[in-house]
Structure 1
């Protein structure tokens, strides 16, 4: 027979187990965040012969009323209680919201801990890849979305910023229709397909034309970096606007450790312009990590049809290697696959199955190789 445990001992043991339950948005344990207001354990009325059965009530205070991740958190709490080995525990979760004063204190502590753009710390573990192109229409945003989804599916903690303020598209590509949660001025990124996302397209009024000039563009990026709680992702991707305008310069200033990935298509009209987006590295402290050639070929009845010509990625790679004085490799040649557009427009990156795993397709295989090669460089 299992030795009876006093209620106080059980409450302490449950609290210890709950310290391993992580809030999905803030990346901290629910105990560290002060979300566990109280734990009450009392013997049940029908405890049985050994009396080793308890009703356990956990009082949970979420950061905001109606938190979209409430069910996820309560399921994790139930799992932690159910795993207790020394007694039979019957869990009851009572969910409420933090008081304004308690939330103010929590947000102030989090902001004081971070203080500034978290990706500029010299000891940051985050690899930052800025996805750039010389012109629109080459599939830069599609590459960003599928690469981010691939990183997440491979087990990397992944975040993405839609830095194309005028032509934002990541919310649609990830099927996001909700707004970020606002914790007293600190935003929680929206998570979709395992990727933490932020985009101007998530906010009210974003369906109207955006007429911003340089200083406001720069401020938008600073807010995305400093006013959003990112935690410590392994990978951060930025979907840049085409060309070499204000946002590319702002990224270089705000994230000098960012690595540029240039996207092109095979035809000369695209590759010639793509070189210019890579040459921005001559003027700002960013390293060009490599080139991705998108829409390289179309597979038809076992034959590769080069619809847009050939050699664009190799031309960009060679010219940037010569101009920058270091190797800028051609990292990947991605096929032209209609499913990338069709599935992407439905709100799911084409590299993923409906269940969120990596698909067994050519495009998923190519993106997996690209992701692993980037992390190995």
Structure 2
């Protein structure tokens, strides 16, 4: 059974008609994939291919109608075409599909992706501490959680506050001296995001294009693990200044880190360096050091890949406890060696990211 907001959106869409047939977009069967989650609305209109170009005004009207429903923060409508239409050379959409179109976040000076080839390597903890360290340098910093399926930013920033909407713009949350946005701020904590690739890409575009970020010196993007839709969307829709790869020292993680480096190289995003996380284990009782995942693997891999090794961080109970409590170690324990390491790495990232890009060219994945 549909929720009240979903039913209201469907009713609003039933008021948008095809001027040629007089049928509304619901009755015509064009409405596909309607998803309404905590104020975010996404759907597609599947139309005859030969009419796709002429139906752009209908798409725009449907998007506007959904956005005008009380309780809706933002709406995205994508125009697609029936596969069986007789003109295979006709365009599938007259509006850029997710992952295409003009660049977003024009007011951000430098956008840096913090990525990993696989999950469980401490990438989100690293991203949050780096962002807080950059804000501590007096920079205007944004932090975007690009992991739609497993957002962790609300936990690590210690807030479940819902963003406000001013007009058609979502206001980012302000925490620890930085602006932040995550799908986790818009949905309930135990909500499973069962979305296909285009929906994920659309949600990312909303968090970049419909959030009132304002002018920023730098934005840190906490990427989901792997090399999928989110990575392609980021590389195609924002001018990434570079990527930082986080890995543990063990061979299985380094294999995936290598794939991450190669992926960013293919889309012409420079890799600013590698970070070895969980480099060694410090016993909280006796401070004994154990290399339980090995040690130095990321440094060696960085040399092999000819990218900079940015530093190593230990597997330490305090880092995990403070991250879970929503108080990053850089902020809560600034005197520790680990906080000092995060600040040093952040300073080096800013040094590289704030330099003018050299030899940037078009992505091979863009048209």
Task: Specify if TM > 0.5.
Answer: yes
CA distance in structure 2 between the aligned counterparts of 1:316 and 1:284, rounded to whole angstroms: 21
Matched, 1:312 2:297: yes
CA distance in structure 1 between the aligned counterparts of 2:296 and 2:274, rounded to whole angstroms: 12
TM-score by length of 2: 0.65
CA distance in structure 1 between the aligned counterparts of 2:289 and 2:297, rounded to whole angstroms: 16
For 1:344, the equivalent position in structure 2 comes to 323
For 1:145, the equivalent position in structure 2 comes to 128
Give the 3-state SS of the residue equivalent to 1:352 in structure 2: helix
CA distance in structure 1 between the aligned counterparts of 2:287 and 2:208, rounded to whole angstroms: 45
For 1:199, the equivalent position in structure 2 comes to 182
| Distance of aligned partners of 1:280 and 1:254 in 2 relative to their CA distance in 1, 3 Å threshold | same
Deviation at 1:118, TM superposition (A): 5.0
Which structure is larger by alpha-carbon Rg, 1 or 2? 1
Deviation at 1:257, TM superposition (A): 2.9
For 2:144, the equivalent position in structure 1 comes to 161
Matched, 1:373 2:348: yes
- Which moved further from structure 2: 293-302 or 154-163? 293-302
- The alignment covers a number of residue pairs equal to 250
Give the 3-state SS of the residue equivalent to 2:193 in structure 1: coil
For 1:170, the equivalent position in structure 2 comes to 153
Matched, 1:360 2:335: yes
For 2:230, the equivalent position in structure 1 comes to 247
Give the 3-state SS of the residue equivalent to 1:292 in structure 2: strand
Q: Deviations over 1:147-185 (max 9, x none)?
A: 111111221111111101111101100011111110122
For 2:256, the equivalent position in structure 1 comes to 273
Give the 3-state SS of the residue equivalent to 1:351 in structure 2: helix
Matched, 1:190 2:169: no
**Residue of 207, 212, 222 corresponding to 1:229:** 212
For 1:63, the equivalent position in structure 2 comes to none
Q: Is the 8 A contact 1:152 1:194 kept in 2?
A: yes
Give the 3-state SS of the residue equivalent to 2:221 in structure 1: strand
Q: Is the 8 A contact 1:173 1:344 kept in 2?
A: yes
RMSD: 1.9
Q: Deviations over 1:103-154 (max 9, x none)?
A: xxxxxxxxxxxxx7553x4xx5622110110111100001011111111122
Q: Is the 8 A contact 1:200 1:206 kept in 2?
A: no
For 2:311, the equivalent position in structure 1 comes to 332
| Distance of aligned partners of 1:206 and 1:343 in 2 relative to their CA distance in 1, 3 Å threshold | closer
Deviation >4 Å, runs of 4+:
300-303
Structure 1 unmatched ranges of 5 or more: 1-115, 322-327
For 2:64, the equivalent position in structure 1 comes to none
Deviation at 1:206, TM superposition (A): 5.2
CA distance in structure 1 between the aligned counterparts of 2:269 and 2:195, rounded to whole angstroms: 25
Q: Is the 8 A contact 1:244 1:280 kept in 2?
A: yes
CA distance in structure 2 between the aligned counterparts of 1:264 and 1:204, rounded to whole angstroms: 29
Deviation at 1:277, TM superposition (A): 0.9
CA distance in structure 2 between the aligned counterparts of 1:319 and 1:250, rounded to whole angstroms: 28
**Map 1:19-168 → 2, pairs under 5 A:** 119=105, 121=106, 126-168=109-151
CA distance in structure 1 between the aligned counterparts of 2:115 and 2:304, rounded to whole angstroms: 16
For 2:80, the equivalent position in structure 1 comes to none
| Distance of aligned partners of 1:282 and 1:368 in 2 relative to their CA distance in 1, 3 Å threshold | closer
Deviation at 1:272, TM superposition (A): 1.2
Q: Is the 8 A contact 1:135 1:270 kept in 2?
A: yes
| Distance of aligned partners of 1:192 and 1:289 in 2 relative to their CA distance in 1, 3 Å threshold | same
CA distance in structure 2 between the aligned counterparts of 1:345 and 1:249, rounded to whole angstroms: 29
Give the 3-state SS of the residue equivalent to 2:216 in structure 1: coil
Between 1 and 2, higher relative CO (CA 8 Å, sep ≥ 6) is seen in: 2
Q: Deviations over 1:28-86 (max 9, x none)?
A: xxxxxxxxxxxxxxxxxxxxxxxxxxxxxxxxxxxxxxxxxxxxxxxxxxxxxxxxxxx
Deviation at 1:349, TM superposition (A): 0.9
